[in-house]
């Protein structure tokens, strides 16, 4: 059984919660979860990376990490700063990256930006971030501003037990979750209050993104990946994953191996051994 240590990583602008496992003297591996998930996402797959010093973080606003201060927002590009600052706080010179969904999008671009330091890239359900055509920029900005105007009026729903938020997570039509996966994520993604439990994640995470990269910008970043890279995608593709575009992106990374596995978006939680073996097929 894998043993996890709860740690806090102190950054200049906030504290990140994380779970550490594996071999403290081994090569370094930073794991980054998906949107509205948390570090528990990597618990099932961690035994297949036990030679690593594995640190799975809760991104800002997720799990048990600090939220951004009032008046700040959650931009994709800011996560790159958060994660690179986290790496410096850990004092890692060389490291590998493991990312799922949003975490994979972050890892993809960071592997290119820090190409001289990244040894290996493991990706699940992501290769680069979502992109938006330049002609949709204004509409996206308008939607984001409208969302922000109403964020302070949002009230947290109080659940009487952890079974209720786990059931809520499983009801997402585009992101099916097994009961075990839902309970693992909810146990770390809620906090106790009078009368029950509320989500610990920042409500601002659900707001429309104000701006995204264009596909040309994403492609330029992906071309900078130099380390061995391994991508696993669910088959069939999830509704929010543009498989055709993802396949085009794979052609930009000459070091990439690419595998499709029958499963859902959280296949790394429901079938961890199969996913891990695909990710590690060539090392």
Per-residue model confidence as pLDDT tens digits over 202-244: 999 999 999 899 999 999 999 999 999 999 999 998 887 888 8
Sheet with 118-124, side-by-side order of all strands: 5-10, 15-22, 53-57, 28-32, 95-100, 118-124, 229-235, 256-262
- Mean predicted confidence (pLDDT) in 158-183: 89
Encoded tokens for 141: 């900005």
Is the N-terminal amide bond of 236 cis, ω within 30° of 0? yes
Separation of alpha carbons 216 and 214, rounded Å:
5
Share of the chain above pLDDT 90, in %: 86
Say whether 178 is catalytic.
no
pLDDT at 96: 98
Active-site residue identified among 101, 108, 200, 201: 101
Helix (H, G, I), strand (E, B) or coil at 228: coil
- Mean predicted confidence (pLDDT) in 255-268: 95
- Mean predicted confidence (pLDDT) in 115-142: 96
pLDDT at 229: 98
Structural contact between residues 38 and 177, judged by C-beta atoms closer than 8 angstroms = no
Helix (H, G, I), strand (E, B) or coil at 282: coil
Helix (H, G, I), strand (E, B) or coil at 158: coil
Say how many CA atoms lie within 13 Å of 185 toward its Cβ. Answer: 27
Domains defined for the chain, CATH in brackets? 5-132+213-279 (3.40.50.1820)
Separation of alpha carbons 96 and 51, rounded Å:
12
190: part of which helix (H) or strand (E)?
Answer: strand 190-193
pLDDT at 239: 83
- Closest listed residue to residue 52, CA positions, set 18, 9, 94, 17: 94
103 Cβ contact list (under 8 Å, min separation 6): 31, 32, 33, 34, 59, 126
pTM of this prediction? 0.96
The owner of tokens 């370094």 is: 28
Helix (H, G, I), strand (E, B) or coil at 115: coil
Q: What's the pLDDT tens digit per position in 4-58? A: 999 999 999 999 999 999 999 999 999 999 999 999 999 999 999 999 999 999 9
pLDDT at 283: 62
């Amino acid at each position: 059984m894998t043993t996890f240590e709860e740690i806090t990583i102190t950054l200049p602008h906030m504290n990140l919660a994380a779970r550490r496992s594996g071999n403290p003297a081994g090569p370094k591996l930073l794991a980054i979860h998906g949107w509205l998930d948390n570090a528990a996402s990597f618990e099932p797959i961690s035994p297949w990376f036990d030679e690593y010093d594995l640190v799975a973080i809760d991104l800002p606003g997720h799990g048990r990490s600090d939220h951004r201060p009032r008046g700040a927002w959650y931009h994709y590009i800011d996560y790159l700063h958060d994660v690179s600052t986290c790496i410096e706080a850990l004092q890692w010179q060389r490291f590998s990256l493991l990312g799922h969904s949003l975490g994979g999008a972050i890892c993809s671009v960071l592997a290119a930006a820090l190409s001289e330091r990244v040894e290996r890239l493991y990706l699940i359900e992501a290769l680069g971030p979502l992109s938006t055509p330049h002609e949709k920029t204004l509409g996206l900005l308008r939607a984001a501003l409208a969302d922000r105007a109403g964020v302070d009026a949002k009230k947290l729903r109080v659940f009487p037990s952890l079974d209720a938020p786990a059931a809520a997570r499983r009801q997402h039509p585009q992101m099916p979750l097994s009961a075990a996966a839902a309970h693992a994520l909810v146990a770390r993604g809620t906090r106790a209050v009078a009368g029950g439990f509320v989500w610990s994640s920042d409500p601002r995470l659900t707001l429309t993104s104000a701006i995204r990269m264009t596909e040309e910008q994403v492609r330029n970043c992906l071309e900078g990946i130099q380390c061995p890279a391994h991508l696993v995608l669910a088959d069939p593709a999830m509704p929010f994953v543009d498989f055709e575009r993802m396949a085009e992106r794979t052609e930009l990374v000459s070091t990439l191996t690419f595998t499709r596995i029958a499963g859902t978006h959280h296949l790394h939680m429901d079938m961890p051994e199969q996913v891990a073996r695909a990710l590690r097929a060539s090392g």
